[in-house]
């Protein structure tokens, strides 16, 4: 791509300085090293090595991710520097100040929410045309993540720091739904700032699920908080925030909810329907891929930030053991490719004892017809859910992209996921990236699973709808796997419609052609997701704040179940 002259770029972006708070000079981003590496196989040696060395530092080696970045456009050469060191970046550094980017930044800055004069987040949507505000005027934890990444990449960490501290304060509140008290570690789904112009006071009202449809607590909020804390630390080099006693306590409280012993026989987390981005009844109850991937990433993030005191060591021991078990379980039982599908198709059932091949007693007749045509010879993905006698074969975009970024997926599995996206582009991307899940449920199945949900009709909303916010995750996964052409193609599709359509929340239809029937316009995370994708393509090293290298101890050979003969 031909780059404009520096004076032309500076002239084009000078007008942007008035878009954000009072034209303040933004704090630059300092480069920091990658996350600490785990190199021993045994839990005891592994933990000892972790406790004896500084956190978030890594002896530089050529990593899988760095090698993938070398495949990227030579115009973005890293000049031998670490592929995961985040350099200084600001609006003036960008080589792509097109009108769409300019309008996106303006809209993102206008979406900021202030508490006592300080920015603490961005509202979900600011749709002037909508008569009902509902809860779209609130700051959602999961929705703010792409906004936070955009601000970090643009050298504006203040709003992210304020958000992390404010949600941490909210975590400490009493959380009651009817007469039942939620766990101390539960993070809010969202919060709203109420301004009293007469008394000149600001008040925060949080929602932990008691106001949500279905009254389900958000399991993913705590995981996103930990992941964002690590992103902030890596992008700014400011370790003092994560080392604060309140942040250490906040992480431990979240981890306590996930690592407590119970009746579980699997290392995965048992969840209710509607506990994540798919926040309505969609049949994801059990062990949804989105939660398991976020859980894995949050565990690895916390492992790099917990202090080496007595309380921290206790949790680090639990995390190391859980990571071993979780990575094996997910890579062995959730992974599906052509060969594994053929094995499941030939499974025996009603097997007993530890020698059983069909460990979850999946009935071959329960395999849906669509999967046989959908699965290419090259490619694979993590299925939506695995539990006793049940395998949800649906594709879920967020869980698979996070699996790549967190290295829950092996390098080979990561490449297979991207192979699948390319091979099934029309189904998974279509005219607007990206399908939240595939395929959609219809007719009788839709009625039974969703309870005849009028919002989740076929190819709409969570039931096969296309969500522009997922563009940033697809872009990050594409760059990490050395396939930036996939991201570039998806961004071009988004640029053809998003601004013209008013930044909708989601699109409907089998190919994502139509603006969603109940989609809000000016959806903040659609805007932020686009900006993050553009900035990562402009400077691939930004992926480092949200990506992780594969640890040596999590590289056992993938064991496939053998079909019976």
Task: Classify residue 336 by its DSSP letter.
Answer: E
The helix (H) or strand (E) run that includes residue 207 is strand 201-207
Q: Give the whole-angstrom CA distance, residue 9 versus residue 6.
A: 5
The helix (H) or strand (E) run that includes residue 115 is strand 112-115
**pTM for the structure as a whole:** 0.84
- Give the residue extent of every domain in the chain: 94-545
Residue 302 · residue 256 · CB < 8 Å: no
Between vectors from CA 523 to CA 519 and to CA 527, what angle results, nearest 5°? Answer: 130
CB under 8 A, 24+ apart: contacts of 178-183: 182/208, 182/209, 182/217, 183/253, 183/256, 183/257
pLDDT of residue 428: 98
Per DSSP (E only), the strands in 499-548 are 507-508, 514-515
pLDDT of residue 215: 84
The helix (H) or strand (E) run that includes residue 7 is helix 6-13
Q: Give the whole-angstrom CA distance, residue 358 versus residue 352.
A: 9
Q: How far is CA 417 from the centre of its chain?
A: 16
Q: Give the whole-angstrom CA distance, residue 500 versus residue 510.
A: 21
Map residue 123 onto helix, strand or coil: coil
357-396 burial string, b = 16+ CB within 10 Å, else e? Answer: ebebebeeeebeeebeebbeeebbbbbbbbeeebbbbbbb
Residue matched to tokens 């995390």 = 319
Residue 124 · residue 525 · CB < 8 Å: yes
Going residue by residue through the chain (565 aa), what tens digit of pLDDT does each one get? 444 444 444 444 444 444 444 444 334 333 333 334 433 345 555 455 544 544 443 333 444 444 444 444 333 333 333 333 433 334 444 445 689 999 999 999 999 999 999 999 999 998 755 556 778 999 999 999 999 999 999 999 999 999 999 999 999 988 888 888 899 999 999 999 999 999 999 999 999 998 877 789 999 999 999 999 999 999 999 999 999 999 999 999 999 999 988 898 999 999 999 999 999 999 999 999 999 999 999 999 999 999 999 999 999 999 999 999 999 999 999 999 999 999 999 999 998 888 899 999 999 999 999 999 999 999 999 999 999 999 999 999 999 999 999 999 999 999 999 999 999 999 999 999 999 999 999 999 999 999 999 999 999 999 999 999 999 999 999 999 999 999 999 999 999 999 999 999 999 999 999 999 999 999 999 999 999 999 999 999 999 999 999 876 565 554 544 443 3
Choices 3.40.47.10, 2.60.120.460, 1.50.10.10, 3.40.50.720: CATH for 94-545: 1.50.10.10
């Amino acid at each position: 791509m031909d780059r404009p002259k520096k004076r032309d770029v500076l002239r084009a972006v000078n007008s942007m300085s008035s878009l954000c708070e009072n034209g303040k000079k933004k704090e630059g981003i300092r480069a920091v090293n990658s996350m600490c590496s785990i190199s021993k196989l045994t839990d005891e040696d592994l933990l000892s090595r972790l406790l004896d060395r500084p956190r978030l530092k890594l002896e530089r080696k050529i990593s899988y991710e760095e090698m993938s970045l070398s495949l990227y456009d030579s115009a973005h050469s890293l000049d031998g520097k670490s592929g995961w060191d985040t350099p200084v970046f600001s609006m003036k550094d960008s080589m792509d100040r097109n009108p769409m980017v300019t309008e996106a930044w303006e809209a993102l800055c206008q979406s900021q929410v202030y508490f006592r004069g300080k920015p603490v987040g961005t509202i979900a949507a600011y749709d002037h045309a909508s008569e009902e505000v509902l809860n779209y005027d609130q700051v959602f934890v999961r929705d703010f993540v792409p906004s936070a990444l955009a601000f970090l990449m643009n050298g504006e960490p203040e709003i992210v720091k304020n958000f992390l501290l404010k949600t941490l304060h909210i975590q400490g509140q009493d959380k009651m739904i009817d007469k039942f008290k939620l766990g101390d570690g539960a993070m809010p789904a969202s919060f709203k700032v109420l301004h009293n112009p007469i008394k000149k006071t600001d008040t925060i009202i949080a929602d932990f699920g008691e106001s949500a449809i279905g009254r389900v607590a958000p399991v993913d909020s705590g995981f996103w908080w930990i992941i964002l804390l690590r992103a902030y630390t890596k992008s700014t080099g400011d370790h003092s925030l994560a080392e604060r006693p309140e942040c250490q306590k906040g992480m431990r409280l979240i981890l306590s909810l996930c690592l407590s012993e119970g009746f579980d026989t699997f290392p995965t987390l048992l969840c209710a329907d509607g506990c994540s981005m798919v926040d309505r009844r969609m049949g994801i109850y059990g062990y949804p891929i989105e939660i398991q991937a976020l859980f894995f990433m949050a565990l690895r993030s916390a492992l790099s930030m917990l202090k080496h005191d007595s309380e921290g060591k206790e949790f680090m021991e639990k995390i190391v053991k859980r990571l071993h078990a979780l990575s094996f379980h997910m890579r062995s039982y959730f992974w599906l490719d052509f060969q594994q599908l053929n094995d499941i198709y030939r499974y025996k059932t009603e097997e007993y004892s530890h020698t059983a091949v069909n460990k979850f007693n999946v009935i071959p007749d329960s395999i849906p017809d669509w999967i046989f045509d959908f699965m290419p010879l090259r490619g694979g993905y993590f299925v939506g859910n695995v539990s006793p006698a049940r395998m949800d074969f649906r594709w879920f975009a967020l869980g698979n992209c996070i699996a790549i970024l967190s290295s829950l997926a092996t390098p080979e599995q990561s490449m297979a996921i991207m192979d699948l996206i390319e091979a099934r582009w029309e189904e998974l991307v279509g005219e607007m990236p990206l399908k939240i899940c595939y395929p959609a449920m219809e007719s009788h199945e839709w009625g039974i699973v969703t309870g005849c949900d009028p919002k989740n009709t076929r190819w709409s909303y969570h039931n096969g709808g296309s969500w522009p916010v997922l563009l940033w995750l697809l872009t990050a996964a594409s760059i990490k796997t050395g396939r930036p052409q996939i991201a570039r193609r998806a961004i071009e599709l988004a640029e053809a419609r998003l601004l013209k359509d008013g930044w909708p929340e989601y699109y409907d239809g089998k190919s994502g052609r139509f603006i969603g029937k109940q989609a809000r316009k000016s959806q903040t995370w659609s805007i932020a997701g686009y900006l993050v994708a553009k900035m990562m393509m402009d400077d691939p090293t930004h992926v480092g704040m949200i990506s992780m290298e594969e640890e040596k101890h999590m590289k056992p050979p993938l064991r496939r179940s053998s079909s019976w003969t």
